[in-house]
Amino acid sequence: MSVQKRIAIYGKGGIGKSSTASNVAAACADEGYTVMIIGCDPKSDSSITLLGGKRIPTILDLLREEKDVKEEDVVFTGYNGVKCVEVGGPEPGIGCAGRGIIVAIQTLKKISKTLNEMDLIIYDVPGDIVCGGFVAPIRKGLVKEAYVLTSGEYMPLYAANNICRGLAKINTPLSGIICNSRSVSREKEIVTKFASGIHTKGTDRAGLREGRFLGHGKSTRLQHCTSLS
């Protein structure tokens, strides 16, 4: 693969954003691609299913401890070789999550050779609060494609709409809407209409996976992985 693919998956907290990101990572790894997932959520749980339930140190926590951070301190190997990184978050009540993402990624770029060796890098980014910081990976040129996860429920759609408005303000094209079905009445119709209204395409995450989400620190495998070439 000649060009590295870098994508961001946005969505309201609790909508299934992290499990979707980790499932995409797992599926693409199974197809033979080298993959890194970078969790930008302060909960630091983006890669937990890929690591068998294990939590890993975050970049920001180590920086706050004034440690000399090395690649092996923050880059861990999970399911089928997927490289896992967690940014972490600011101390409650102080700092800025967006600024934290920028500092953490700048640190990672300095210390990690692996970052440049990946076919695919997935940024798992929260979208509940759409301050300028939430688009930090895009503003810094780290991401070329953005996907938004939602369901047919009001609050996830509200958050998705705000995220899309934020992306539009920085002239970033939306690559697609992913529906993580919650079995809401007329859900497919609602999400399809929403996707059409913002002039993009949608896909049903539930239709992509095989079996059920296993939980307990494990990740289901998507049936198909879109070609990265």
pLDDT confidence of residue 131: 62
Task: Say which of 5, 17, 83, 124 is annotated catalytic.
Answer: 17
With cut-offs at 50, 70 and 90, classify the pLDDT of residue 2: low
Q: Which residue has the higher pLDDT, 149 or 171?
A: 149
With cut-offs at 50, 70 and 90, classify the pLDDT of residue 90: confident
Q: Is 184 exposed, middle or buried (0-12, 13-18, 19+ CB in 10 A)?
A: middle
Closest residue by Cα to residue 19 from 138, 187, 204, 180? 180
- What's the pLDDT tens digit per position in 117-139? 999 999 998 876 656 566 667 77
Known active-site residue 140: no
Known active-site residue 128: yes
Q: Which residue has the higher pLDDT, 98 or 81?
A: 81
Known active-site residue 17: yes
Rounded distance between C-alpha atoms, residue 107 and residue 60, angstroms? 9
- What's the pLDDT tens digit per position in 22-31? 999 999 999 9
Known active-site residue 5: no
Task: Say which of 128, 144, 204, 218 is annotated catalytic.
Answer: 128
Task: Say which of 12, 41, 83, 124 is annotated catalytic.
Answer: 12
Task: Say which of 43, 70, 140, 169 is annotated catalytic.
Answer: 43
Q: Which residues contact 106 (CB under 8 A, 6 or more apart)?
A: none
Rounded distance between C-alpha atoms, residue 47 and residue 44, angstroms? 8
- What's the pLDDT tens digit per position in 206-224? 433 332 333 334 444 444 4
DSSP the chain: --S-EEEEEEE-TTSSHHHHHHHHHHHHHHTT--EEEEE-STT--TTTTTTTT-----HHHHHHTT----HHHH-EE-GGG-EEEE---PPTTSS-HHHHHHHHHHHHHHH-SHHHH-SEEEEEEE-SS-SGGGGHHHHTT--SEEEEEE-SSHHHHHHHHHHHHHHHHTT--EEEEEE-----TTHHHHHHHHHHHTT--EEEGGGTB-S---BTTB---BS------
